[in-house]
Structure 1
Amino acid sequence: MMDITMLQTIDHELLRTFVAIVDHGGFTRAAEAVNRTQSAVSMQIKRLEEDVIQRPLFEREGRTMRLTSEGNTLLSYARRILDLHGEALNVLRTPDMVGRVRIGVPDDYVMRFLPGILKSFSQTWPLVDVEVHCAPSSELLSRQKGNLDLSIVTREVGHEIGEILRQDETVWVVADSHSPYRQTPLPLALFEDPCFCRRHACNALARAGRQYRVAYSSPSLATLQAVVSAGLAVSAWMRSLVTPGMRILGEEDGFPTLPDASIVLLRTPGAHSPAIDGLASHIIEGFKN
């Protein structure tokens, strides 16, 4: 067995200075970043090169400085070591930084909003596990009593509960290069019942005396988008979810205006922790964009 007392170690402060030089493009700016003098930074790198690595880490060509092959190798390890060092300190000093959060969200918002939210959250809370449960708003409302901590749901304007994240127009959408909206009866691709977008769309067409049929029905926005993109039907969903290759139909196309919708954040009573509150803050911020 190897005697660990014989292994040479690398001071993480030397690694921090080394990474700062790479990230800031030179010794002067790195010195400011690590709050040391330039001469102190130079001495640290000299010590790292001569006493620890015993290889040059930088090549200098005039005023240009670049990493040697050994420097590139060390950079990868240095970043990992510093990340683990910071992670260990966070866990030991702030035990609330670990845990699990369970969030419910309709399929509608997964691709549009969730990637940015989860990315920013993971940068602040790297050790918190996030369980994402995708389901329609009606199902999430019924599951809000215990097996979810947070839920993002769609509500009619004036019937909101929870915290309003944003209000959005409900619009008619069709593929740019197709015209199923000229057909009679009008082919529709709508979310499954119960869905107020579906109800409002059907009621609005009925009031306008427009014949229609629900040709495609699904709980998945991705499925409805595929149907619309193929030119098979017209659909209705929120303006923020309209993707390139689709256009919005208005009154000039013979389509009545639809009521706006609200996206709200629900918090399960009794579900409180720094991690849950942290994810809620990131969700609120994420829906501003």
Structure 2
Amino acid sequence: MLHTIDHELLRTFVAIVDHGGFTRAAQAVNRTQSAVSMQIKRLEEDVIQRPLFERQGRQMHLTSEGTTLLGYARRILALQGEALNMLREPDMVGRVRIGVPDDFVMRFLPGILKSFSQTWPLVDVEVQCAPSSELLGRQQGSLDLSIVTREVGQEIGTILRREETVWVVAESHPVHRQSPLPLALFEEPCFCRRHACNALTRAGRQYRIAYSSPSLATLQAVVGAGLAVSALMKSLVTPGMRTLDESDGLPPLPDGSIVLLRSPEATSPAVDGLAQHIVEGFRA
């Protein structure tokens, strides 16, 4: 007789891998830790008849059989979700157009889109990357959702999070000691650029805008090469950079807000779903 695998066992198995252990997985699947342990014992002994995990000290790692099962489990669960969505909710298909600055593409978007695709596997997502100022102009008609940065007190839409704006420099290059101070900033209009220049002027610190770009990757590369100092939201600071403060001779900067805008015409359930995943992704 051909054995079948209960999808709840697979869901618990995947949750253990994704959440890094039995305790967090139990919270994710809304079961007790002992119930999760019993499910895995049943999966290992009665179904697969092979160990799926092995302990190394306090850490748990997949066995080779566990690694093989993980790939199949993800595919089975995704296919099941797709079938149910198609049969129960035919409107869970379509396309959502989202605009986002490249500042947040690598930092936030992968996790958001992965989570969204698990719930809405048949919805196509069109991503347009552009600075916040451009996305504000595209909001009417060409985009359903936009993630943009705004000054505190001037937010419109849903506030996703507020963050410090910080000065950053390469860890091994004290370029902030130069005078005039070389800066690498986003192109106008950008409130981070404006606040940085205004703060330096008020502090009596001479500066020059040595590099200007609409691309976060460009600014990060310039800073990482030790060529200039930049002003970025704190979540955009990458390894190899260090933040600067008044002890380094640089004035404090105002916080900034990340907000979610929605077109009035965007009323589909798919847009609702992606908007909720964006809110959860940024607030996690």
TM-score of Structure 1 vs Structure 2, range by shorter chain? 0.7 to 0.9
- In structure 2, the CA distance between the partners of 1:80 and 1:154, relative to structure 1 (3 Å rule), is closer
Match of 2:248 in 1: 253
Match of 2:158 in 1: 163
Q: Among residues 238, 241, 245, which one is paired with 2:233 in the alignment?
A: 238
> Are the aligned partners of 1:16 and 1:82 in contact in 2 as well (CA < 8 Å)?
no
- In structure 2, the CA distance between the partners of 1:85 and 1:247, relative to structure 1 (3 Å rule), is closer
Instruction: Please tell me the residue identity of whatever aligns with 1:15.
Output: T
Deviation at 1:79, TM superposition (A): 7.0
Match of 1:102 in 2: 97
Deviation at 1:120, TM superposition (A): 0.9
Q: Deviations over 1:181-238 (max 9, x none)?
A: 1111111000011111111111111122211111111111111001001100000011
- In structure 2, the CA distance between the partners of 1:18 and 1:262, relative to structure 1 (3 Å rule), is closer
Distance in 1 of aligned mates of 2:161 and 2:267 = 23
Q: Deviations over 1:134-191 (max 9, x none)?
A: 1000000000001100000000011110011111111110011101111111110000
Give the TM-score normalised by structure 1. Answer: 0.76
> Are the aligned partners of 2:203 and 2:251 in contact in 1 as well (CA < 8 Å)?
yes
Match of 2:258 in 1: 263
> Are the aligned partners of 1:19 and 1:79 in contact in 2 as well (CA < 8 Å)?
no
RMSD value over aligned CA atoms? 3.5
Distance in 2 of aligned mates of 1:282 and 1:156 = 23
Deviation at 1:17, TM superposition (A): 4.0
Identity %: 73
Distance in 1 of aligned mates of 2:252 and 2:95 = 42
Distance in 1 of aligned mates of 2:262 and 2:101 = 15
Give the TM-score normalised by structure 2. Answer: 0.77
Instruction: State the secondary structure of the residue aligned to 2:198.
Output: helix
Deviation at 1:15, TM superposition (A): 2.8
In the TM superposition, 1:175-194 aligns within 5 A as 175-194=170-189
Distance in 1 of aligned mates of 2:267 and 2:84 = 24
Match of 1:15 in 2: 4
- In structure 2, the CA distance between the partners of 1:87 and 1:156, relative to structure 1 (3 Å rule), is same
Distance in 1 of aligned mates of 2:259 and 2:118 = 24
Instruction: State the secondary structure of the residue aligned to 1:173.
Output: strand
Deviation at 1:18, TM superposition (A): 9.2
